[in-house]
Amino acid sequence: MRWSTGVLIAAVAASFGLALYWWPDVPARVPLHFDLAGAPDRYGERGYWSWFLLPTLAALFALFLGWLVPRWIDWLAERAPDLINIPHKQRFLQLSPEQRRSALRPVIALLQVLSCEVVLLFAWMQYATLQVARGAWTHVPTAFVFVVIAVLLATALGSVPLARRAVARAAGA
> Which residues, in sequence order, are CB contacts of 130 under 8 Å at separation 6+?
22, 25, 26, 30
Q: How confident is the model at residue 7 (pLDDT cuts 50, 70, 90)?
A: confident
Residue 170 CB coordination number (10 Å) = 21
- Higher pLDDT: 21 or 87? It is 21
Collapse the DSSP code of 111 into the 3-class scheme (helix H, G, I; strand E, B; otherwise coil) and give the result: helix
Q: What is the pLDDT of residues 85-129, one digit of tens each?
A: 998 999 999 999 999 999 999 889 888 889 999 998 999 999 999
Residue 23 pLDDT? 97
Report the alpha-carbon distance of residue 100 to residue 76 in Å, rounded. Answer: 10
Is the Cβ–Cβ distance between 129 and 31 less than 8 Å?
A: yes
pLDDT at 14 over 80: yes
Confidence (pTM): 0.86
Secondary structure (H, E, C), 141-166: CHHHHHHHHHHHHHHHHHHHHHHHHH
Cα dist. 94→52, 78, 86, 107 in Å? Answer: 47, 12, 13, 18
